[in-house]
Chains A and B, each alone.
Chain A
C-alpha cells in the first residue's frame, strides 16, 4: 500500500561519518555482493567487460572537493544510498503498491512481484537512491539489509547491514534513529549530524556527520618540527664556515 504510515516509532537507518570515510568503495562492493544473492532479483550488470560497462548498485560513493573561503580545499568522500525518508515521495507516487514503507521499523522497500518497472519512484526520489535493474525490469533500492539485520541464522555481530559490517574505518553506523537514547542518535546529537536536501520535504531518516574542522595553518605550521634542526658533521662545519664569509 503506498499510503505512508502516519508515524513509525522505530526509525531504522544509517549514520554516515564523512570525517572518517576514506572513499575506498568497500561498502559499494559489499552491498553489491550481499544484495546480488539475497533479497529479490540479483543486481545485474550490462556489458561489464565492455566499453560501456554499467550496472545496478544500491550504494555509490562520490568524492567532492570542498573549497572553504580561507583554507585549502578538502576532499570529502560521500556515500549515497536510500535515506529511508519519513515522507518518502517514492512510495506515494507508485501506482502498483510495490513501493512501501514498513510501519514497524520505517524501512522503505520494493515488492518486486508487484513492480511494473515504470520508474516513476526513481524520478520522485531527490537522492538518486533507486536504480532500475535492466535485466529484471524492476526497481532496486537499499533494503537496509532487511535480510541480515533480523536474520537469526547469522552470528550476532553480522546482524548489521553489509556496508556497515564491512567498512574498514567504521564510517557507517546502523541503528534506530527514532530512539533518542540509541548509540546512533547520540552520535548524531554529539556531532551535529544533518539531513540531505531538507528543502525537498522528504524528512530523511539517515544522517550525515560533517567532517571535523581542520587545523588552521597559522596556528600550527606543518614544518614546525623541522625548523630548529641543527646541521651536524660536514654540513655543520660548512654551515659555520660559510656563515663566517662576508
Chain B
C-alpha cells in the first residue's frame, strides 16, 4: 500500500496524543504545568486528526463521515475522537484552574482514548483485502504505541520502559506473523481469475500501459526492498533508544531524548506498516 504522509502523520501523532491524554485524564497535572501538558496532548491528537483530512478528495464534506457509525470503523473513529476530546476538555480546565471537579471526566476520557486508538487500528485490521493488516496485532500495536508514547511524555520512567518492552515484543509478533499471512490467506492469481482450473496463470499483457489509481495506491513495491533496514530503525529508535535514554539520561533531557527517538521510530514503523502491506488486487496485475 502507498505510504501516504497524511495517514502516517495521522496515526503516529494522534496515537501518541491520545496515549498522553489518557494518562493525563487518569492522573491529572495541576496548574500551568498541567496547562502545558494538556495542551501538548490536545495538540498532538488534533494535529493528527487534521492531517488525516489532507488525503481526502473532498474534505469540505468531512462532517458526513459521522453518519455511518453502525458499519464503518472510520466513522466510529471520528465519533470516538470527538467524544473523547469533548470529555477531556472540562477535565483539562479543572486541572489547569484548580476547579476541583474530580476525575470523572478524566476517567471516562481515558477509556475514550483507548477506544479511539482501537478504532484507528480497526480501520486497517478490518480489511480482508490486505492480509498483513487483517489481524489483532494491528490494533494491539497501535495501542502499545499510544501507551508507550504517553508514558514517555508523562515522564513515568519505570512504566515507560515496561511499555516500550511490550511494544517491542508486539512489533516483533506483528512482523513475524505478518510475513506469511498473504500466502496463508490462500489468495492467488489462480483464485483471483478463477483460471486455476485450467493451469498456472501468468500475465500476458497488462490492461493499460500507463499507471492508474489502483496501482499507485495499492501496488507499492519500492519500499519492500528496504523493509529489513526500516524494521531495524523502528525497533532501535522506537523501542531501544528511548529505553536507554530513560534509564541513563537524567532530567528533562532524558525524557526529551526518549520522546524524539520514539517518535522517529514510530514514523519508521508506520511507513513500513503501509509500504510492506500487500493488497490482493495486485494479483490481477501479477505483482503485489
Q: Which residues of A contact B (CB under 8 A)?
A: 1-3, 18, 28, 52-57, 60-69, 71, 73-76, 78, 80, 89, 91-98, 114-120, 122-128, 131-134, 136-139, 194-201, 208, 210-211
Tell me if B127 is interfacial: C-beta within 8 Å of chain A: yes
Please tell me which one of the listed residues B56, B62, B70, B187 contacts residue A197 in the complex, with CB atoms under 8 A apart. B187
How many inter-chain contacts with C-beta < 8 Å in the A-B complex?
A: 204
- With A97-B64, A116-B62 in contact, do A132 and B204 touch (Cβ < 8 Å)? no
- Given contact pairs A54-B212, A71-B199, a sample of 6 additional A-B residue pairs in the complex whose CB atoms are under 8 Å apart: A62-B203, A63-B206, A65-B202, A75-B204, A195-B194, A210-B197
Chain B residue at minimum C-beta to C-beta distance from A135: B57
Q: Once the chains bind, are B65 and A55 in contact (CB under 8 Å)?
A: no
Q: Once the chains bind, are A137 and B204 in contact (CB under 8 Å)?
A: no
13 cross-chain CB contacts under 8 A? A66-B200, A74-B199, A95-B67, A96-B67, A116-B57, A119-B57, A119-B217, A126-B281, A128-B281, A133-B57, A196-B191, A200-B128, A208-B194
Residues of B within 8 A of A208 (CB): 194
Q: Once the chains bind, are A2 and B212 in contact (CB under 8 Å)?
A: no
Chain A residue at minimum C-beta to C-beta distance from B73: A93
A116 to B192, CA, bound (A): 29
Residues of B within 8 A of A63 (CB): 203-207
Residues of B within 8 A of A137 (CB): 56-58
**Please, how many residues of chain B have a CB less than 8 angstroms from a CB on the other chain?**
60
Residues of A within 8 A of B73 (CB): 93
Interface residues of B in 181-230 (CB under 8 A from A): 185-187, 189, 191-195, 197-214, 217-218
- With A118-B74, A128-B214 in contact, do A69 and B64 touch (Cβ < 8 Å)? no
Q: Once the chains bind, are B194 and A210 in contact (CB under 8 Å)?
A: yes
Interface residues of B in 80-132 (CB under 8 A from A): 123, 126-130
Please tell me which one of the listed residues B61, B71, B197, B279 contacts residue A123 in the complex, with CB atoms under 8 A apart. B279
- With A3-B71, A95-B75, A208-B194 in contact, do A116 and B217 touch (Cβ < 8 Å)? no
Residues of B within 8 A of A114 (CB): 61, 64
A115 to B68, CA, bound (A): 12
- With A1-B68, A199-B186 in contact, do A132 and B213 touch (Cβ < 8 Å)? yes
Residues of A within 8 A of B55 (CB): 118-119
Residues of B within 8 A of A133 (CB): 57
- With A3-B70, A118-B74, A138-B58 in contact, do A60 and B208 touch (Cβ < 8 Å)? yes
